[in-house]
């Protein structure tokens, strides 16, 4: 970027560099973000805990057990849009290795990360800081690394071990996501593979999106990721020992206390479209802390890029509903979400059918 006097304006440094470089006692003004204290949920309220789905009963339970879990899944999707998945069979050690590999990437010297800094949304590998430093008003206390793992597997060649670990992690996570999608399909009264077929899941997008949140001297005055919804069908998330994911539930922000080794799963925008608002894509955010670096890996799974999601006809017919959304390819939708339009109103609102 160039200023009017022709001088280069330095790009915003990674927040890691900034946080490592000085002993900050205050959040720099470019990062100042205010949260509404009245919306903070009570962390001790037992009601404020996202539902737990026992994955083993989906795949190897008796038909009765499976039917019961599908009911629980339906309730979790309707009432929360977020749930934890336990007993999924992905080894804790693999999850930990994936977090460690991403940590080693963020720890590379800034010079070595530069080659992966790009602005193009769908580049197979990209790293950067904040969200959209060119247009945003407030910078986020977060660096990221996004690698597309499906339909084509991509990988970094450094740090050592990243390729092997991310290949195994992306495969195993995708298997879990596929089963969850089957369960969600059934919970809507459809064939288990209905959504996968309609969304061209075999060519579907899977992104390994790692977030790095350094220690912040004033956690209440900055934000890791502000309120947003995820663009895909379902996102599966893991994190290191530091919490920070908050979910908007009944107008309050609820901190997700995930069991160690569990996946945190949430419904994305494409699923809200398919279900004509029955399963909503829930607002969530990442807060930062003043104790230790937090790393999360969000793994959004979506349709193939050329597939437009539309409310499911069989579902509409059964519910006697008119479609609430028009179609847009997943690629166009992602572009919309990454651009200035997303600051004007939620992206789903651009697709809502207008009734006169």
Interface residue list for Fe ion (CB under 5 A): 230
Q: Which is nearer to Fe ion, 39 or 112 (CB)?
A: 39
Nearest to 188 by CA among 267, 112, 262, 251: 267
DSSP 268-321: -HHHHHHTTTSS----EEE---SSS-EEEEEEEE---TTPBP---HHHHHHHT-
Expressed in percent and rounded to 5, the helix, strand and coil fractions of the chain are: 35, 20, 45
CB of 228 to ligand AKG, least distance (A): 7
Select the binding partner of residue 165 from ligand AKG, Fe ion, none (C-beta < 5 to 8 A, by kind).
none
Could you list the residues that contact ligand AKG (CB under 6 A)? Answer: 209, 211, 225, 230, 237, 239, 244-245, 284, 286, 296, 298
| Min separation Cβ 286 and ligand AKG, Å | 4
* Of 70 and 205, CB closest to Fe ion: 205
Output 298 or 312, the one with its CB closest to Fe ion.
Answer: 298
For the CB of residue 239, give the shortest distance to ligand AKG in the complex, in Å.
6
Four-CA torsion 160, 163, 167, 170, nearest 10 degrees: 80
Q: Which does 209 bind (CB under 5 to 8 A by kind): Fe ion, ligand AKG, none?
A: ligand AKG
Pairing mode of beta strands 82-86, 52-54: parallel
Query: At its nearest, how many Å lie between Fe ion and the CB of residue 167?
Result: 23
- Residue 182 or 284 having the CB closest to ligand AKG: 284
Residues in the chain: 356
Binding at 286: pick from Fe ion, ligand AKG, none (beta carbon under 5-8 Å per type):
ligand AKG
Minimum CB distance to Fe ion, residue 61 (Å): 30
Residue 84 vs 187, nearer CB to ligand AKG: 84
The residue (of 90 and 286) whose beta carbon lies closer to Fe ion is 286
Q: Which residues contact 257 (CB under 8 A, 6 or more apart)?
A: 49, 243
CB of 328 to ligand AKG, least distance (A): 20
C-alpha 83/C-alpha 91 separation (Å) is: 19
Binding-site partner at residue 211 among Fe ion, ligand AKG, none, CB < 5 to 8 Å by type: ligand AKG
CB 206 → ligand AKG: shortest distance, Å? 14
Residue 205 vs 245, nearer CB to ligand AKG: 245
Least Cβ distance, residue 52 to ligand AKG (angstroms): 18
Q: Max CA-CA distance within the chain?
A: 72
For Fe ion, the nearest residue by Cβ is 230
What is the smallest separation between the CB atom of 335 and ligand AKG, expressed in angstroms? 17
Q: Rank residues 204 and 268 by Cβ distance to ligand AKG and give the closer one.
A: 268
Coil, helix or strand at residue 19: helix
Give the integer Cα–Cα distance in Å for 221 and 31.
8
Q: Are residues 55 and 47 in contact, defined by beta-carbon separation less than 8 angstroms?
A: no
- Specify whether the CB–CB gap between 330 and 309 falls below 8 A: yes
Pick one of Fe ion, ligand AKG, none as the site partner of residue 245 (Cβ within 5 to 8 A by kind): ligand AKG
Q: Please, which residue, 186 or 230, has the CB nearer to Fe ion? A: 230
Nearest C-alpha neighbor of 225 from the set 239, 351, 105, 329: 239
Give the span between the Cα atoms of 225 and 245, in whole angstroms.
Answer: 9
**Angle 138-144-146 (CA atoms, 0-180°, nearest 5)?**
130
């Amino acid at each position: 970027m160039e200023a009017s006097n022709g001088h280069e304006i330095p790009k915003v440094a990674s927040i890691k560099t900034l946080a490592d470089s000085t002993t900050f006692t205050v959040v720099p003004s470019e990062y100042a973000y205010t949260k509404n204290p009245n919306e903070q949920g009570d962390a001790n309220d037992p009601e404020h805990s996202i539902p737990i789905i026992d994955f083993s009963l989906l795949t190897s339970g008796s038909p009765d057990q499976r039917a019961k879990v599908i009911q629980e899944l339906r309730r979790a999707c309707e009432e929360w849009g977020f749930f934890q998945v336990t007993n999924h069979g992905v080894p804790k050690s693999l999850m930990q290795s994936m977090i460690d590999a991403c940590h080693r990437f963020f720890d590379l010297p800034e010079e070595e990360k530069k080659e992966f800094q790009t602005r193009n949304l769908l580049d197979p590998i990209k790293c950067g800081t904040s969200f959209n430093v060119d247009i945003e008003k407030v910078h986020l206390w977060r660096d990221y690394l996004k690698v597309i793992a499906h339909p084509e597997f991509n990988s970094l060649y450094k740090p050592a071990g990243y390729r092997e670990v991310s290949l195994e992690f992306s495969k195993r996570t995708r298997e879990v996501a596929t089963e969850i999608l089957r369960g969600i399909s059934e919970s809507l009264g459809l064939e288990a593979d209905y959504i996968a077929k309609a969304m061209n899941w075999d060519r579907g997008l899977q992104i390994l999106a790692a977030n790095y949140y350094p220690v912040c001297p004033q956690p209440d005055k900055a934000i890791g990721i502000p309120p947003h919804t995820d663009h895909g069908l379902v996102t599966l998330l893991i994190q290191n020992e530091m919490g920070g994911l908050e979910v908007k539930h009944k107008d309050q922000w609820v901190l997700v206390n995930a069991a160690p080794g569990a996946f945190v799963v949430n419904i994305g925008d494409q699923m809200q479209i398919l279900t004509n608002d029955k399963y909503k894509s829930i607002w969530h955010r990442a807060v930062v802390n003043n104790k230790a670096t937090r790393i999360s890996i969000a793994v959004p799974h979506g349709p193939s890029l050329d597939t437009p999601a539309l409310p499911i006809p069989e579902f509409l017919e059964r519910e006697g509903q008119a479609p609430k959304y028009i179609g847009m390819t997943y690629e166009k939708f992602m572009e919309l979400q990454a651009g200035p339009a997303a600051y004007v109103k939620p992206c789903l609102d651009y697709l809502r059918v207008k009734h006169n």
